[in-house]
Amino acid sequence: MLLSYCVVNTNGRDCLLACLDAIERTHPEGVESEVLVLDNASDDGSAEAVRGRGLRLFALDRRDGKAANDSRLLGEARGRYCLLLNEDSELHPGATRALLDALEADPAAAAAGAQLFTSEGRPKACAWRFPGLGWALAEALFLHDRYAVQSRGDTVREVGWTQSSAMLVRREAAERVGFLDPAFFVYSDETDFCKRLHDAGWRVLYVPAARATHHDQLSTDRDAMRRRIVEFHRGRDRYMRKHAPVATRVAWRTLWAWSYLLRALAALVLPRRHPARYWRHAMQELAPGRGEGVREAAEAHNRRLRATPPSGTPFGGPKATKRAG
């Protein structure tokens, strides 16, 4: 088995179906493959919708974090290469072939990320340097994109880390570093993963010829947005505590908070800006452990599931793993 498509889905039924259709439509001819879907305790009929499609389905009875779920699929995959995909990612023609070619041409490369596009077709920043003092200084001077973003150019290049929404991983390398760290519920999980690959002597690539649409599913609900901001800063703080010295962490937190505060002030007079959101980012940067994030929302979801177990699922039991195909 050469290639395993690994898709994690959380309440994204329509996007998941589009993602699977894109896999089938764009799969390179002659490449042996399998498709694994992990349904993260969805309540929108996602698992039912994909049964019988000839794929391997893992339907969980409790919701878990993205890093843990990606690691589950990497551990179950039979392929030499594993293409990590969010349910809201759609591969463009030639994307999988370009990613495979990049890793096969560079035996020292452990991961390769695609160029991502918004739902409207605009390219998104999707590869960056590793977080550090230089990045924080650049942000304080409003030079963030120029310094930190590495998803530029039209040739394959080595980068610090890429977004895991469409990332091809050499399974051997992932296994050697212990897959993704489940302590990261969501956000900064792929940053930490790529950093550990780098520290182990592997390279990470950005492959501009590989293109994928990453649909923007951010909710306009204020509570959901607050939770995402909390989880974003929580994950970033965990990364810095794991990989950066104390002085760098202090400078990082101070400079980023300063930047967010300046942006909040500017947003008071600039059109189509959100001063309250920048202010919330600044306060969360200063106290990343405060508040309830996406993890707490998942825990609340799991409590509801335990209170009303679905038919055939043991009350309070472990996750249910099912396979189809």
Listed in order, the ranges of the chain carrying CATH 3.90.550.10 are: 3-214
Taking the C-alpha atoms of residue 187 and residue 65, their distance in angstroms, rounded to an integer, is 10
> What is the DSSP secondary structure assignment for residue 211, as one 8-state letter?
E
- CA-to-CA separations, 152 to 25, 109, 115, 135, in angstroms, rounded: 27, 19, 9, 17
Phi, psi of 220 (to 5 degrees): -85, -5
Partner residues linked to 57 by β-bridges: 37
Query: Does residue 50 come out as left (phi exceeding 0), alpha (psi in the -120 to 50 range) or beta?
Result: alpha
Residue 209: the pLDDT is: 98
Q: What is the DSSP letter of 132?
A: S
Contact present, 45 and 13 (Cβ < 8 Å): yes
Flag whether pLDDT at 316 surpasses 50.
no
Alpha helices (runs of H) in the chain, residue ranges in sequence order: 13-26, 46-50, 66-76, 95-105, 133-140, 144-148, 171-176, 189-199, 222-243, 246-267, 275-286, 294-307
In which residue are the tokens 């992990």 written? 38
For residue 221, CA distances in Å to 198, 217, 218, 226 come to 37, 11, 9, 9
Which tokens in the block code for residue 59?
């339907």
Cross-strand pairs, 161 = 128
Please check whether residue 38 is in contact with residue 60, taking contact to mean a CB–CB distance below 8 angstroms.
yes
Bridge partners, residue 265, by sequence: none
Whether CATH 2.40.50.100 fits 3-214: no
Query: Residue 10 is inside which H or E element, if any?
Result: none
DSSP classification of residue 309? P
pLDDT at 319: 40
pLDDT at position 320 over 50: no
Q: Where does the pLDDT of residue 307 fall: very low under 50, low under 70, confident under 90, or very high at 90 and above?
A: confident
How far apart, in whole angstroms, are the C-alpha atoms of residue 255 and residue 279?
Answer: 14
DSSP 8-state symbol, 260: H
Q: Rounded distance, CA 171 to CA 151, Å?
A: 23
Euclidean distance between CA atoms 195 and 176, whole angstroms: 13
3-state secondary structure of 3: strand
pLDDT of residue 52: 87
Is residue 215 within 8 A of residue 162, CB to CB? The reply is: no
Q: How far apart are CA 165 and CA 151, in angstroms?
A: 14
Tens-digit pLDDT profile for residues 79-119 = 999 999 999 999 999 999 999 999 999 999 999 999 999 99
Cα 325 to its chain centre, rounded Å, is 27
Mean pLDDT of the chain, nearest integer? 92
Q: How much is the pTM?
A: 0.92
Task: Give the pLDDT mean for 125-132.
Answer: 97
| 4-59 pLDDT tens trace | 999 999 999 999 999 999 999 999 999 999 999 999 999 999 999 999 898 999 99
Return phi, psi of residue 179, to 5°. Answer: 60, -155
Predicted confidence at residue 222, as pLDDT, reads 77
* pLDDT band at 298; cut points 50, 70, 90: very high
Closest CA to 223 of 297, 289, 275, 273: 297
Per-residue exposure over 184-203, b if at least 16 CB sit within 10 Å of its own CB, e if not: bbbbbbbbbbbbbbbeeebb
User: Hey, what amino acid is at 248?
Assistant: T
